[in-house]
Structure 1
Amino acid sequence: MRNKVLFILVHFLFSFQIQAQPTISKVIDLEEYGIRANAFQNASPALAKAIQDAAKYENAVIRFPGGRIDLWPEGAEQREYYISNATESDSIPKIKTIGMLFENISNLTLEGNGTLIVCHGKMVHMVIDHCRNFTVNGLSFDYERPTMSEMEMLEKGKDFVTVRIHPDSRFAIEQGKLIWYGEGWKSRHHHMLRFVPSEETMYYDSWKPFANSQAEKTGPLTVRFKGDFSQTNFQKGDLLTIRDPYREAVGVLNTFSHQVTFEDVRLHYMHGLGIVSQFSKDITLKGVKVMPRKGSGRVIAAFADCFHFSGCYGKIQIEDCLASGSHDDPVNVHGTHLRVVASEGTRLKVRFMHHQTWGIQAFEAGDTIAYVDNANLLVYDRAIVKKARMLSRKEMELELDRPVPKALKEKHCIENISKSPEVLIRNNRFEHTNTRGLLITTRRKVLVENNIFFRTGMHAILIANDCNFWFESGPVRDVTIRNNKFIECGYNSSPDNYVIAIKPETHRFVKGKYVHENIRIIDNEFTVFDTPLLFARSTTGLVFKGNEIQVRLSETFPRKNKPMFSLTHCDEVHITDNHFGGETISKELSLHSMKKKQIQYAPKKEYTLLYGE
């Protein structure tokens, strides 16, 4: 009997050991598909074939050759995609040309070996569509002709300027007008930002003086414009960055996928938004750098946001990353409010409202929804989705587990609260952007720590929530912002230049009820050129404690002497144990629609209370 038991035990352990061993990955070596480093030939057809072969295996590794490979539209995959915050009007085509398309693939690793992938024309670098356990490691991406044009201001008079065009920015002079063009495209609309290298700052500016002038080519890369430049802010050495505002593409699309990791990835230029993750679960960005290629002489790497997350869930982790050179926010995490346009019994018809977000399956069976009053952004009821279907690209029908609430009114919205992520943002640097550093609106736990925010043009961190314009949801419930460095942020948004802003888009308040709660801003270092530090509206449980504020007044940046803390309809606010150094500035606490008992602050002798309506 003992021998029999021993035999069964050994057999079980042996069987378990065999089953526990990981499946050996199939290596797909791109050199075997004829893809050679630095060949400057179109690798699109061969790469598409390699991806198809990799999809046949349970586990696979696609091994890149190192060096540079080029992708042209010819032979690349094409698909129709609707992308959050990047789906323009009906007149803009939705068919995307895709450098690398991965559909319904699990357990795949892209082993980059430092390979630089250069795309030609307006291409999406990569799409990860309904994949699981997907890893991108050691790859870099760029454009042969970035859709961002750049030029340096050489000299300026009242009636002329002379500029040097960046070698990557193709241009021509037609009937005295400068036009920008690229591989298969011509820019028709111009959105311009000005970068000041000596300050490492960015400002909104206008192409209009150039459009109204006469252009003359004075050298291979130099152009003189004759016209009225007397009212412009341009200075010698400024870099002007110009793009067509339409977001026909994105850098990387990660859609409806699980366990996706980007590690040691470089994104040197992305057309449209950067890495967009929508309705995906568990996403990790580690050591991802959005920045112009070293030695390129370019300023801008991202046409719009660098890392954008819409309707994602599970956990988002952004660690050891760099966002440098973007025309919009480095990080944006949000859900989407859809407006209720009809209801009957247990059924709702809802509509995408913003012109850049629609066409996406935003709900599925089992999701929990929250009803939101658009006037005050308060949640007043919930339900569970039993069935969901698209009625059109802009409308969905939901069947719920209970009748719609009687409180439902015109313009009220719903949010998918099941698709709301936990967020960790740690050890990153955010710089060279004219807008915010982080936008975060998620009801699950958020930790922002050990990051550097260097001269973001607007708020370094914005916590919003909106049911009337952008329709980006939702409320926050547990946010910790600690051990970060905020260096001279908000310089181009005076007088609203608060370093951190908690600004749900509501101005109708309900007594004792608040949109956001439990936000802790502790043990950070602020270097400021002006008084505004923190703006908060409709927030309870707000702590600003143990922070070091170094005041460094400057003639470079405008000062409006707004209150240091501006609080509207807030409760349980604690502002204590903060330390100030450098030059002396007034410490004012401005309270609106709230009472003194709703705030605790110390030492009281350092602060002045101001009361508004």
Structure 2
Amino acid sequence: MNLTRQIIALFLFFLITFSVSGQVADTIKVTQFGVKSNSYLNASKGIREAIEKCKGKQNVVIQLPGGRIDLWPEDAVKKEIYISNTTENDTLSKVKNIGFFFDHLKNVTLDGNNTLVVLHGKMISFALFNCQNIEIKNIQFDYERPTISEAAIISVSPSAVKLKIHPDSRYFIEKGKIGFYGEGWKSSSFFTILLDKDKDLMRYASFDPFLNSKATRQENRTVLFEGDFTKTNYKTGDVLSVRDPYRDNCGGFITLSKDIVLSDVKMHFMHGLGIVSQFAENITFSKVIVAPREDFGRVIASFADCFHFSGCKGKILIDGCKTSGSHDDPMNVHGTHLKITEISENKKIKVQFMHHQTYGFEAFFAGDSISFVSPKTLKPIVYGKLKSAILINKKEMELVLEGELSNKVKVGDVIENTTWTPEVTVRNSRFERTNTRGLLLTTRRKILIENNIFYRTGMHAILIANDASGWFESGAVSDVLIRNNTFEECGYNAGPIINIMPENHELTEGYYVHRNIRIVNNTFKIFDKPILSARSTKGLFFSNNTINPSNLPETGTNENSFTLTACKDVVIKNNTFNTSWKTNIAAFEMRKKEVKTDIRNSLNK
């Protein structure tokens, strides 16, 4: 009898489950559309047709065949896209080639079946427009010819250096000069970053000594450069990574979409920028790896940032992820300040995108809440709600408020969209091999950074900024918890390890840009003094952290461990310092009593 009841209960459970989900998922196999594993043929048309088959369906699984498939721009979806932090040069086309294009789809799963998708030319791996409840899982993406060229130094002398060019990097020598090219492109500039493989440190470098030398092709992809190398500090084993700095693409793109999940996704190379989420809601990255394929000898996987979130809302979750080998920051979360250029008599406001890499998309929508902000102080002037918002050209929007416009608002002020601001959690992840920062975070909603490893980020492991004069990346934080992380030898190019640095060029007495930041129970392995710097922050708590010396040579600078400018309610207590130097706290534009500390004789001004 008990067994019968259990069977009936199980049947009812499945019946209810299927009723709730609506229906059993349809499975669409891309092999039905001519896509074949390991054929090295262009699968773009078959992939496009398989995804089009999802239209009108409510619960679909698209299944890839496993092995390797190749995608070329020919037969791929082509779409004009303006992407935050990548849009440059008005004279060039913004049409992108997209491998997997999801448009107005719901409840679709792309099951990669661990397929390696190899992109040719410059392509976006996947793009989601106006989608809901989409999962991309168990898939790998790489470029046949990455747009970053790599070369290892195999011998060095004052008058000659020999490089071994990586097999994935195509090059030519013309009239004694080297150049790099790919599928439909050739480099015109040579932005260079060097990886010191012995120390696993990345630093800015210059390719000029090679460009000013005579290049001679030798066997086994080696090139001899004869010239003046007396002022360089190259050594055998170093790896140079070289690219044209122009950003004209991204690795993946998610926009105007909701409830998106990437799980067990590997991005082995991304051109232009990484995975960009732009005005999207509820994004989860679980076990997303940005790193070169193992045993392929490459060191760089991302042309710039790895995970980029611009103007998102809802919840962003990064869990169990890893980034290794990027030419810029592993993660950036921000909004965008637009500047007021005109206020008409009927109270219409014209605003303009200010940074040359960010424009061309709607940054406001009817019903959004906004904040008018002073660009010099970053202090909110008044708040409002939008009745309408229209993109009138690629650089400008026209806004109309609900209700009256305050006479405190003037041309030159900036506006932040406060509706499109996300809650962010980053946990159980590892960030390594970057010459720049680790996480850039500016959002007014809750931020939790826990149980992560930051390994030798060249600059700040965590940067909390906010500006209306440079990048115009907006967001004053109000609830940040950084706990149980390991910061290992970060900031070797430029410290401190954690930098809270809003770009308010005028301080306002009694106003603080950032608030309520707690840094607790972390382990810092440091080679130099600077640990934390903060400006215009109220409620800064640094406690129960352990600071240990590193294996790198101690720099022993005269800099302070903590630098505070115009802060209030700062607590630096109950930390363990195992370093050989004295720990100092420097405070500027503030009273000493605003700092509570148990570090004896440490507070200077």
TM-score (norm: length of structure 1): 0.95
Determine the C-alpha separation between the residues in 2 that align with 1:245 and 1:378: 34
Q: How much has 1:17 moved relative to structure 2?
A: 8.3
CA distance 1:18–1:436, change in 2 (3 Å): closer
CA distance 1:409–1:200, change in 2 (3 Å): same
Match of 1:562 in 2: 559
Match of 2:533 in 1: 535
Indicate whether 1:83 and 2:80 are aligned: no
Whether contact under 8 Å (1:532, 1:561) holds in the other structure is no
Match of 1:518 in 2: 516
DSSP-derived class of the 2:317 partner: strand
Determine the C-alpha separation between the residues in 1 that align with 2:30 and 2:513: 52
Deviation per CA, 1:528-585: give whole Å up to 9, x if none. 0011110000000000010011023743x6442310100000000011100112x421
Which of 477, 499, 502 pairs up with 1:501? Answer: 499
Determine the C-alpha separation between the residues in 1 that align with 2:358 and 2:444: 21
Determine the C-alpha separation between the residues in 2 that align with 1:18 and 1:107: 14
Match of 2:595 in 1: 599
Match of 1:55 in 2: 55
Identity %: 48
DSSP-derived class of the 1:325 partner: strand
Whether contact under 8 Å (1:567, 1:590) holds in the other structure is yes
Deviation per CA, 1:65-122: give whole Å up to 9, x if none. 1110000111111000000001112023200011111111111000111000000001
Indicate whether 1:412 and 2:410 are aligned: no
Q: How much has 1:220 moved relative to structure 2?
A: 3.6
Deviating runs (4+, > 4 A) in structure 1? Answer: 13-19
- Taking the TM superposition and a 5 Å limit, the aligned residue runs for 1:7-156 are 19-20=19-20, 22-156=22-156
Q: How much has 1:138 moved relative to structure 2?
A: 0.2
Deviation per CA, 1:42-75: give whole Å up to 9, x if none. 1011111111112231111100111100001111
Match of 2:429 in 1: 428
Whether contact under 8 Å (2:343, 2:410) holds in the other structure is no
DSSP-derived class of the 2:251 partner: strand
Amino acid at match of 1:251: G
Indicate whether 1:573 and 2:567 are aligned: no
Whether contact under 8 Å (2:31, 2:65) holds in the other structure is yes
DSSP-derived class of the 1:398 partner: strand
Amino acid at match of 1:349: K
Match of 1:182 in 2: 182
CA distance 1:72–1:589, change in 2 (3 Å): same
CA distance 1:17–1:335, change in 2 (3 Å): closer
Determine the C-alpha separation between the residues in 2 that align with 1:56 and 1:91: 38
Q: How much has 1:429 moved relative to structure 2?
A: 0.2
Amino acid at match of 1:269: F
DSSP-derived class of the 1:292 partner: coil
Amino acid at match of 2:574: D
Determine the C-alpha separation between the residues in 1 that align with 2:103 and 2:468: 33
CA distance 1:220–1:520, change in 2 (3 Å): same
Q: How much has 1:20 moved relative to structure 2?
A: 3.0
Indicate whether 1:276 and 2:276 are aligned: yes
Q: How much has 1:403 moved relative to structure 2?
A: 2.7
Match of 2:6 in 1: none
DSSP-derived class of the 2:46 partner: helix
Whether contact under 8 Å (1:530, 1:553) holds in the other structure is no
List gaps (5 residues or longer) in structure 2.
1-12
Match of 1:326 in 2: 326
CA distance 1:21–1:93, change in 2 (3 Å): closer
- Taking the TM superposition and a 5 Å limit, the aligned residue runs for 1:166-565 are 166-344=166-344, 345-493=346-494, 497-552=495-550, 554-555=552-553, 558-565=555-562
CA distance 1:18–1:219, change in 2 (3 Å): closer
CA distance 1:28–1:527, change in 2 (3 Å): same
DSSP-derived class of the 2:45 partner: helix
Determine the C-alpha separation between the residues in 2 that align with 1:548 and 1:300: 32
Determine the C-alpha separation between the residues in 1 that align with 2:63 and 2:431: 31
Q: How much has 1:470 moved relative to structure 2?
A: 0.2
DSSP-derived class of the 1:455 partner: strand
Amino acid at match of 2:303: F
CA distance 1:372–1:21, change in 2 (3 Å): closer
Which of 601, 605, 609 pairs up with 2:603? Answer: 609
Determine the C-alpha separation between the residues in 1 that align with 2:550 and 2:295: 33
List gaps (5 residues or longer) in structure 1.
1-12
Q: How much has 1:37 moved relative to structure 2?
A: 1.2
Q: How much has 1:443 moved relative to structure 2?
A: 0.1
Determine the C-alpha separation between the residues in 2 that align with 1:135 and 1:391: 34
Q: How much has 1:208 moved relative to structure 2?
A: 1.1
Determine the C-alpha separation between the residues in 2 that align with 1:21 and 1:315: 23
Amino acid at match of 1:215: A
Match of 2:10 in 1: none
Whether contact under 8 Å (1:530, 1:561) holds in the other structure is no
DSSP-derived class of the 1:289 partner: strand
CA distance 1:260–1:15, change in 2 (3 Å): closer
Deviation per CA, 1:247-301: give whole Å up to 9, x if none. 1110000111100100000000000111000000000000000000011100000
Determine the C-alpha separation between the residues in 1 that align with 2:327 and 2:368: 34
CA distance 1:152–1:539, change in 2 (3 Å): same
Whether contact under 8 Å (1:334, 1:474) holds in the other structure is yes
Whether contact under 8 Å (1:154, 1:162) holds in the other structure is yes
Determine the C-alpha separation between the residues in 1 that align with 2:564 and 2:14: 66
DSSP-derived class of the 1:506 partner: coil
Q: How much has 1:411 moved relative to structure 2?
A: 2.3
Match of 1:7 in 2: none
Determine the C-alpha separation between the residues in 2 that align with 1:78 and 1:338: 29
TM-score (norm: length of structure 2): 0.96
DSSP-derived class of the 1:54 partner: coil
Q: How much has 1:408 moved relative to structure 2?
A: 2.1
Match of 2:4 in 1: none
Whether contact under 8 Å (1:526, 1:547) holds in the other structure is yes
Determine the C-alpha separation between the residues in 1 that align with 2:414 and 2:17: 53
Amino acid at match of 2:134: F
Deviation per CA, 1:296-332: give whole Å up to 9, x if none. 1000000000000000000000000000000000000
DSSP-derived class of the 2:210 partner: helix
Amino acid at match of 2:190: H
Determine the C-alpha separation between the residues in 1 that align with 2:201 and 2:184: 32
Whether contact under 8 Å (2:215, 2:223) holds in the other structure is yes
Match of 1:9 in 2: none
Q: How much has 1:212 moved relative to structure 2?
A: 1.2
Cα RMSD (Å)? 1.5
Determine the C-alpha separation between the residues in 2 that align with 1:371 and 1:229: 53
Determine the C-alpha separation between the residues in 1 that align with 2:221 and 2:552: 36
Whether contact under 8 Å (1:346, 1:401) holds in the other structure is no
Determine the C-alpha separation between the residues in 1 that align with 2:429 and 2:19: 40
Which range moved further: 110-119 or 218-227? 218-227
Amino acid at match of 1:539: T
CA distance 1:27–1:514, change in 2 (3 Å): same
Determine the C-alpha separation between the residues in 2 that align with 1:87 and 1:182: 21
Determine the C-alpha separation between the residues in 2 that align with 1:507 and 1:75: 50
Q: How much has 1:526 moved relative to structure 2?
A: 0.3
